[in-house]
A and B are shown apart, each in its own frame.
Chain A
Amino acid sequence: MFFIFSSIVILAVGFLVNKFLSKPFCANSISCKDSFNLKVENGIAGVFDGQKVTPPAIDLSQKEPAVKVLGEATATGEKHIYIDLTAQTLAAYQGNTVFMQVPISSGKWHPTPTGDFTIWEKVRATRMTGGEGADFYDLPNVPYVMFFSGPNAPAGAGFSLHGAYWHDNFGHPMSHGCVNMRIVDAEKLYDWADPPTSGSTTLSSTDNPGTKITIYGQAPL
C-alpha cells in the first residue's frame, strides 16, 4: 500500500515539475519571445552552420513607402498566403489574383507546422538565436518578420515568415521551423500582407486582422 502511494506521489511531483519548470517549445529555442521585439543591431556578426555571417545593415529611416505593382491595386477580395511544403513554394493571393509565387525554405531541423494560421505581428527586424552544438545559430537583423499563429502553433512558439540572408538554398528545407524567404520576396510580402505596416512593429487586432496563411504538404526531408 505504501509502495503504491509513494509511486503516485513521485509521479504527481514529476508531472508538476515537468509542467511548471520545462520550457515551452520555441522555434528559436534561445531567443524565443525576445525575437518578438524589434531589434536592429548593425555591425554585429552572426553565426550559422558554424560560419560567421554578416547581417545586412538596417536603417529604419530609409524605408520607402511600398510601391504598388500592376495588379495589386486593382485586386479585390481576401488576402491569403498558401505555403506548399512539398514543393517548397509560397503563393500569395488577393481574391483570385496571384500577387506573388516564390520559393521558400521550410523547417529542416524542426518541422514547420501545417494547418491554418494568421499573421499576428510584423516586425521589421529582430534577432533569432537557437540550436546547439554545430547546429547553433545567432542571427541579428533578421529582416521582414511576419509571426503567425493558429491551432497547431500558438503565438508563443514564435513561428514566422522572414527574410534569410545567411543562405541561398531556397526551394529546399533549411530552417528550424520558420519559413525562410529571399529578402526581396520577404520585403514584398511584408509590405503587402495585413495588418498594414505601421512603423517598425505592427500588431494585428480584431479591427485590423492579419493575413491568413495555410501551410500544407510534407517537406522533402
Chain B
Amino acid sequence: MDKHPYKIILLSVLLIAAIGIIIVLSGKKQQENSTNTLPVAEAQESQLTSVVSPDGKLTLTMKESKTQDNTTYSFLTTNSDGTQKEVFTKIVPSTSTLSIPANTFSPDDKYIFLKEDDSGLVDYFVVTPSGTLDISSLFAAKYPNYKITDVTGWGGMTLIVVNVNNSDGSIGPSFWFNVSGKSFIQLSDRFN
C-alpha cells in the first residue's frame, strides 16, 4: 500500500478528471438539446398598449408577439360592457414596429389609423370595416413631390390630417385624407 502511493493519487486525479469531463460534456449536451428543442414559433408577450376613444366608449389594445424573425401585432377593441373584438392583425419583419397614435379613433369610432415604422420608413394606414387603406402609398402615388412628415389625427368624421414637407425639405402644406372617397384635399392652412 505504502509502496506506490503516487499511483493511488494519480488514479484518483484521473478518476476525478474523468468524472469532471463527463459532467461538463453531459451539461453541454443538455444545453445543446434544450436549444434545439426550444420551439422556434414560441412567442414572447412583450408589449401591451391601449388607447381610449375620445368618447370613452371603446379601448383599442395592441398585443405584440415576437418570434425570431417576425412580430405579430393584434389589435382588439373593448367596449364598455367588456365585449372584445379583434379588428386587425399584421405580421411584420422584426425590423418593423407598429404603434397606436394618440388620436387613432375617428370621432365616431368607425375607423382607426395606425403607424408602422420599418427602420425609419414610416407608413400610416387606416383600418376600416372592409379592409385597410394605406395613406402613405396612396399619397406617394398622387403627390411624388411631397413627403409625409406626420399624420396627427382626425379633422372630421372621415378626414385625416396629413402634414407634408416639400421635396427640398421645407415645410409643405397639410392635406385631408378622406377615408370615404380615398382622396386627398390640399388645405390652405397648415395644421400644426
Chain A interface (Cβ within 8 Å of chain B)?
A: 48-54, 56, 103, 108, 164-174, 182-184, 187, 220-221
Contact = CB atoms under 8 A, between A and B. Distances in A.
Given A49-B159, A170-B153, A171-B103, 17 more contacts: A48-B156, A49-B155, A49-B156, A53-B156, A53-B157, A165-B55, A165-B107, A166-B156, A167-B153, A168-B107, A169-B154, A169-B191, A172-B152, A183-B56, A184-B54, A184-B55, A220-B192
29 contacts: A48-B156, A49-B159, A49-B176, A50-B156, A51-B157, A52-B157, A53-B107, A54-B157, A103-B102, A108-B189, A165-B54, A166-B156, A168-B153, A169-B103, A169-B153, A169-B155, A170-B54, A170-B103, A171-B102, A171-B103, A171-B152, A171-B153, A172-B152, A172-B191, A173-B192, A183-B54, A183-B56, A184-B55, A220-B192
Interface in B77-115: 102-108
A44 B156 CA distance: 17
A16 B97 CA distance: 65
B190 to A, nearest CB: 8
Contacts of A168: 54, 103-107, 153-154
B155 to A, nearest CB: 6
Interface residues of B, number: 25
Contacts of A183: 54-56
Given A48-B156, A172-B152, A182-B54, A167 B192 contact: no
A50 B159 CA distance: 11
Contacts of B153: 167-172
Interface string B159-180: 1010000000000000010000
B55 A167 contact: no
Interface string B61-83: 00000000000000000000000
A51 B159 contact: yes
A49 B159 CA distance: 9
Listed residue (B103, B107, B154) with the most chain A CB atoms within 10 angstroms of its CB: B107
A176 to B, nearest CB: 13
A45 B178 CA distance: 20
B158 interface: yes
B103 A184 contact: no
B52 interface: yes
Contacts of B176: 49
A169 B161 CA distance: 8
A53 B154 CA distance: 13
Contacts of A49: 155-156, 159, 176
Nearest to A168: B154
B54 A166 contact: no
6 smallest A-B Cβ distances: which pairs?
Answer: A169-B153, A184-B56, A182-B54, A220-B192, A168-B154, A49-B156
B55 A56 contact: yes
A221 B161 contact: no
Contacts of A52: 157
Contacts of B54: 164-165, 168, 170, 182-184
A184 B157 CA distance: 18
B102 A167 contact: no
A221 B157 contact: no
